[in-house]
Amino acid sequence: MSARGNGAARERALTASLLTRTPLWRDAEQRARRLSGGRTDDAADATRMADDYRMLAHDLARARTLMPGTRTREYLEAAYARAHATLHHGAWHAGSALLVLARDEIPAAVAELMPYIVWSTVIFVLTVAAGYALVHRYPELIALFASPDLIASVEHGRLWTQGLLNIVPSSVLSVQILANNIVVSLFAYCAGFFFGLGTLYILGLNGLMLGAVFAFVGQHGLGGELLAFIVPHGCVELSVMCLSGAAGAAVGEALVRPGQASRSESFRVAALRSGKLLVACALLLVGAGFIEGFVSPDPRFPLWSRVAIGVVYWIIMLALLSGRLIPRARAPADGA
Amino acid sequence: MSRNAPDLAVDSVTGIDVSLAVAGPGARSYAFIVDWHIRLVLALAWYTFGALIYNGRLSLAAPASPPGGWFALVVLPAAAIYFLYHYVLELAMRGRTPGKRLAGVQLVARDGGAPNAGALLTRNVFRLIDSLPLCYGVGLLAVTLTREHLRIGDMAAGTLLVYEGGAALPAQFNAAGTLDAAGMEIVQELLARWPSLEPGARAALARQALARYAPGDDGGVSGPDADEALRQRLERLAGV
């Protein structure tokens, strides 16, 4: 028999011996399915999974050489991938994940994003001042920033927020407001993908509108009333605007200046890091939405209570962002 | 399964890398369309059910100035079903949804495992950008242009859509025969499908297989018993 014939016979024999292990692969695959689907918590199954993983790796390596274009190899690839995913899937519990997020990850993200938060706040404040100055100097420009209804209402000496609760119930108003604010906040973050320009635009536009409306309302002697309306929810809502802007700016800078990593890798890291801050923003906006629906338009709340609510909620926000809201459990003392 | 897309190779402690075939725009769109229909139908079903219960009569119309109860019972749950469908199911089903399952694909992280809650949230938040300007224009463009067929949400979250493997195992392998493993699979599959194939089609396929794997045994079969004779020759070749 020629050398080529010997080689072919040897290959067939090896293939046949490999394929005698088919029942083992089937068992391993079914075990991985059971474990990954959460249909078993049998410790013996879990222990055997580690052996299965090694066995599948060994047999897959042989199959890749002996029968590269076959379904057997495809089957082994899939079984091995499933075993890999099953073994490498960490334990996850919603409660502990949320606790870690609120206690550790959000404060860490805030610390990392601090320069962006400072710059976003500066930009926002500057655009508020610019909007104020523009409308203060050229009152007719308010038409660029506010709706005709709002303008007409203010010109007749009343804020558009007066009597709001006679039209829409607080609960509905709250949900509408918080849903809108969360979408704006998420969009400010996602728009960072456009090299940060989208975020800058959203931040700037919101700042200009706020400043312009304040200037316009002030010209009609309603500045104090507007401030009283905004204080309870606005302290947190405007801060969240700056936080979302910071998250978007971080995403934008990762694309503009990726540093040592590739642009896509840098974008991924920045998006995941900033995303944690967005969870805090969304939670804070839910609270702000309810305050805006139930407290801000209700004339029964005096100014001092409005200021108190606004300041307390803002302090809660600071505590959450700095990690003081949920302190870490103290490690037991040595020898205790 | 698409073979044009690259494979994701994940390092493993065993030294044998895990290879996952990346899904292309077709499988991705198919999964999305199925999921979109499911969530739309579920959201509309809830809206209809909630409206009928709320109104207490055969009417789906919203009240003139909708009170809080209407939002709480009808609008919010329907909106939650529609907007949280992907996130909740991907989290609960470890990177899968009914649409993805139907398309034979699943989401994985770069390490080959199921994506975590943060990555899934980021991926779904970025739908705001992927869905621009309409009909997922940005997302489709990104999927078409990137080597690994990623939309913006996948880039942000570090996730990929890959094919779920599910090939069947061959029944047996005759080491003493002349067939290699690939030939054995083809012949065995042809034999397994034999009853469901048209006689003309299976005869043509059998002749092709015999011509390729048993060149001396492929001709001379004709007449009314040709079908049975071809099947027997295939069985002999496969050692069944």
Are A179 and A69 found together in one domain?
A: no
- pLDDT value at residue B175: 58
Same domain, A83 and A103: no
C-alpha separations of A176 from A171, A173, A182, A281 in Å: 9, 5, 10, 17
Cβ-in-10-Å burial (0-12, 13-18, 19+) of A303 comes to exposed
Q: Are residues B127 and B13 in the same domain?
A: yes
Would the CB atoms of B94 and A60 count as touching at under 8 Å? no
pLDDT at B166 over 80: no
Q: What is the pLDDT of residue A173?
A: 79
Which tens digits make up the pLDDT trace of A66-77?
888 788 888 888
A294 and chain B in contact, CB less than 8 A: no
Asked if residue B213 belongs to a domain, the reply is yes
Could you tell me if B144 and B224 lie in one domain? no
CB atoms A85 and B76 under 8 Å:
no
Shared domain check, A172 and A289: yes
> Is B92 inside any structural domain?
yes
Q: Do residues B28 and B114 both lie within one domain?
A: yes
What's the number of CA atoms in the CB half-sphere (13 Å) around residue B105? 24
Assigned domain for B170 exists: no
Whether B133 contacts chain A with CB within 8 A: no
User: Structure pTM?
Assistant: 0.82
Contacts of A271 in chain B (CB under 8 A): 122, 126, 155-157
Task: Report, as an integer, the average pLDDT of A205-233.
Answer: 93
CA pair distance B11, B26, nearest whole angstrom:
28
Nearest chain A residue to B9 by CA distance is A81
Q: Is residue A329 part of a domain?
A: no
Which of B113, B128, B163 represents a domain boundary (last residue)? B163
Looking at residue B3, its pLDDT comes to 47
Pair (B117, B196) in one structural domain: no
More confident residue, A231 or A259: A231
DSSP letters of A306-326?
HHHHHHHHHHHHHHHHHT-SS
Banded pLDDT at B4 (limits 50, 70, 90): low
Which is more confidently placed, B188 or B86? B86
Q: What angle do CA A170, A173, A179 make, to 5 degrees?
A: 135
At B2 the pLDDT is 44
Residue A148: burial class (beta carbons within 10 Å; 0-12, 13-18, 19+):
exposed
User: Is a pLDDT exceeding 90 seen at residue A141?
Assistant: yes
pLDDT in tens, A232-246: 999 999 999 999 999
Domain boundary among A87, A118, A134: A87
Please say if the pLDDT value at position A44 is more than 70. yes
Q: For residues B131-148, give the mean pLDDT.
A: 91
Task: Give the DSSP letter of residue A101.
Answer: I
Question: Quick one: average pLDDT of B184-206?
Answer: 86
Residue A60 has its nearest CB partner, among B16, B118, B172, at: B16
Q: pLDDT grade, residue A198 (50/70/90)?
A: very high
**Is position A176 within any domain?**
yes
Same domain assignment for residues A237 and A270: yes
Q: Does any domain span residue A285?
A: yes
A-B contacts at Cβ under 8 angstroms: 149
Residue A103 belongs to a domain: yes
Is the domain of B117 the same as that of B229? no
The number of distinct structural domains making up chain A is: 2
pLDDT top residue among A79 and B225: A79
Identity of residue B158: G
Query: How far, CA to CA in Å, does B73 sit from each of A141, A234, A265, B53?
Result: 42, 29, 43, 9
Specify if B169 maps to a domain: no
Structural domain containing residue B186: 181-238
Let me know whether A134 and A252 are in one domain. Answer: yes
- pLDDT for A276-297, tens place per residue? 999 999 999 999 999 998 999 8
B64 touches chain A (CB under 8 A): no
* Contact criterion met (CB < 8 Å) for A13 and B152: no
Look at residues B125, B115, B124 and name the one whose alpha carbon lies nearest to residue B158: B115
Please tell me if residue A98 touches chain B, with a CB cutoff of 8 Å: no
Domain residue limits at A22: 8-87
Q: Dihedral sign for Cα A11, A12, A17, A23, please.
A: positive
- pLDDT-derived band at A335 (thresholds 50, 70, 90) equals very low
Q: Which residues of A touch B125 (CB under 8 A)?
A: 186, 189-190, 275, 278
Total domain count, chain B: 2
Quickly state the pLDDT bin for B188 (edges 50, 70, 90): confident
Quick count: other Cβ atoms within 10 Å of Cβ A318? 14
Across the interface, do A78 and B166 touch by the CB < 8 Å criterion?
yes
Instruction: Could you list the beta-strand ranges (E) of chain B.
Output: 7-10, 18-21, 105-109, 159-163
Shared domain for B99 and B204, answered yes or no, is: no
pLDDT at res. A336: 42
Last residue of one domain, picked from the residues A62, A87, A112? A87
pLDDT of residue A186: 93
Interface of A with B in 203-262 (CB under 8 A): 251
For residue A331, being part of any structural domain is answered with: no
- For residues A113 and A228, state if they share a domain: yes
B88 and B121 share a domain?
yes
* pLDDT of A1 over the 60 cut: no
Mean pLDDT of B197-217: 84
- Interface confidence, given as ipTM, is 0.83
Of A207, A209, A204, nearest in space to A191 by CA: A204
Confidence at A95, pLDDT banded by 50, 70, 90:
confident
Q: Are residues A161 and A15 in the same domain?
A: no
Among partner residues B12, B114, B155, which is closest to A264 by beta-carbon distance? B155
pLDDT score for B35: 96
A168 within some domain: yes
Q: Which of A13, A72, A84 sits opposite B12 (nearest CB)?
A: A84
